[in-house]
Amino acid sequence: MKDINFENYWDYIDDKFDKLVDEGYLKFPSIANLDLTKIDKSISKQISSKTYNELQDEHKKFIQQLLLNEVLAPKLLDFAKNEFGYKGLISNQYHIARSAKPGDRKYRAHFDSHIFTLVIPIRIPEAQEEGETNGELIFFPNARIFPKNPIIDFFGKLWFKQYSSRFGLRRLSKKKSININSFRDYEPLLFLGNTVFHSNQPISSKAKSHRLTLLAHYFDPFPNSSIGSILRRIRLR
C-alpha cells in the first residue's frame, strides 16, 4: 500500500482558489491508497451510535497524519482573510465524524456557519442496486452570496429553511444547479459551507456498511452571534 505525502498533498489547492470561489467546491486527489479500512475501524470504535460525533483521539490522530493543522489550515486562513475579510483565529475549527447507518433517511439541508467545509471520505458503502442512494452529498454551489454580517447570515438561513426537506431540495433543484457527490472515488471535497446549501441522500437499508466521513469546518466569521443575540441586537436599536 502506497502512502501519501501530506507535506505537499494540500499544495494541490494553491492555484485553485479562484476555481473554489467560482464553483463553490473543489476535489482533492484520492486518498484510496491509505489503509482506510484500518482507519475506519479505529475511528468507529470510539464513536457512539449518534450520526454526528465530536472529535475523539483516533480522529485527532488521523487529522495529525493528514497535517491538516500544519499545512491546510494556514492556506485556508490566508485565503479567508483575503477573500472574505475573516478576522478570527486559525483555531476556530470544528471537527466531527459523521457516521450514518443503513436505513438513515434524514435530509435537513443547511448552510454551515463556517467558511470552509472539508469532507474526508473514510468508508463509503457501494450501491447494491441501480437507483439506490448511499448517503451521497447533495449540494448547491453558490446558493447564496457570502453573508456580510450575522443578520444577513441569519435571514439567509431562515429563507432557505423552506428547501431543507426532500421536497424542498427538489424544488430548489429547478432553480439552482445541483451537484451530487458519492465519494466512491475517495476524493476529499472542500466546499464553501457558508454559501453552498447541502444535505445527504438517504442510505439504503440494504447497504452493506455504515458510511463514515470526517467533516472539518474552518472559520466561523460570526462566532459570537446566536439567533438570540441577533434578536437582542435588533430590539436594542
Q: Which residues lie near Fe ion (CB under 5 A)?
A: 112
Closest CB to Fe ion among residues 104, 112: 112
Alpha helices in 67-105 (DSSP H): 73-84
Closest CB to Fe ion among residues 6, 107: 107
Smallest distance from Fe ion to CB 7, Å: 28
* Separation of alpha carbons 151 and 76, rounded Å: 24
Strand partners, 215: 96, 119
Smallest distance from Fe ion to CB 112, Å: 4
Alpha helices in the chain (DSSP H): 6-9, 17-23, 36-44, 57-66, 73-84, 150-160, 166-172, 227-236
User: Residue 9: how many CB atoms within 10 A of its CB?
Assistant: 17
Host H or E run for residue 121: strand 116-123
Closest CB to Fe ion among residues 75, 110: 110
For Fe ion, the nearest residue by Cβ is: 112
Smallest distance from Fe ion to CB 125, Å: 20
* Assigned C-alpha cell, 135: 448517503
Smallest distance from Fe ion to CB 236, Å: 31
Closest CB to Fe ion among residues 108, 235: 108
Smallest distance from Fe ion to CB 134, Å: 18
Closest CB to Fe ion among residues 34, 216: 216
* Separation of alpha carbons 151 and 136, rounded Å: 31
